[in-house]
Chains A and B, each alone.
Chain A
Amino acid sequence: MINKILIANRGEIAARIIRTCKKRGIRTIAIYSEADKDAPHVQLADESACVGKAPVNESYLNSEKILAIAKEFRADAIHPGYGFLSENDTFASLCRDEGFIFIGPKSNVIQKMGDKIEARKAMKAAGVPVVPGTEDAAQTAEEAVQLAGELGYPVMLKASAGGGGIGMQVVHSEEELVKAFENNSKRALSFFGNGAMFLEKKIENARHIEIQILADEHGNVVHLFERECSIQRRNQKVIEEAPSTFISDETRKKMGNAAVQAAKAIGYTNAGTIEFLVDKEENFYFLEMNTRIQVEHPVTEEITGIDIVAAQISIAQGNVLEITQEGVTMSGHSIEARIYAENPDTFFPSPGHISHVTFPRGQHVRNEVAIRSDYDVTPFYDPMIAKLIVKASTREEAIIRLKEALEVYKIEGIKTNIPMLLKVIKHEAFVSGNTTTAFVETYIKK
Chain B
Amino acid sequence: MEEVKASMAGSVWKIVVQEGDTVEEGQDIVILESMKMEIPIAAEESGVIKELKVAEGDFVNEDDVLATIE
Contacts and interface: CB of A to CB of B under 8 A. Distances in A.
Main secondary structure of the interface of A (DSSP, over half): loop
B36 A351 contact: no
Contact of A382 (B8, B9, B35, B39): B35
A349 interface: yes
Interface in B1-32: 7-11
B8 A348 contact: yes
Interface string A165-194: 000000000000000000000000000000
Contacts of B10: 349, 351, 379
A55 B37 CA distance: 14
A273 B55 CA distance: 41
Contacts of B7: 348
B36 A383 contact: yes
A326 B4 CA distance: 62
Interface string B23-66: 00000000000111101000000000000000000000010000
Interface in A348-370: 348-352
Max chain A Cβ within 10 angstroms of own Cβ: one of B10, B34, B36: B36
Interface residues of B, number: 11
Nearest to B32: A379
A327 interface: no
A216 B7 CA distance: 48
Contacts of A381: 35-36
Q: Classify chain A's interface size.
A: 10 to 19
Contacts of B8: 348-351, 379
A15 B40 CA distance: 33
Contacts of A352: 9, 62
Nearest to A382: B36
Contacts of A378: 9
Nearest to A383: B35
A164 B34 contact: no
A126 B9 CA distance: 47
A155 interface: no
Contacts of A110: none
Contacts of A382: 35-36
Contacts of B11: 55, 379
A330 B34 CA distance: 39
A348 B62 CA distance: 13
Interface in A320-362: 341-342, 348-352
Contacts of B34: 349, 351, 379
Nearest to A342: B35
A378 B11 CA distance: 11
Interface in A370-401: 378-383
A341 B37 CA distance: 12
Nearest to A164: B36
A42 B35 CA distance: 20
Given A164-B36, A234-B37, A348-B37, 17 more contacts: A55-B11, A348-B7, A348-B8, A349-B34, A349-B35, A349-B37, A349-B39, A350-B8, A352-B62, A379-B8, A379-B10, A379-B11, A379-B35, A380-B35, A381-B35, A381-B36, A383-B37
Interface of B: 7-11, 34-37, 39, 62
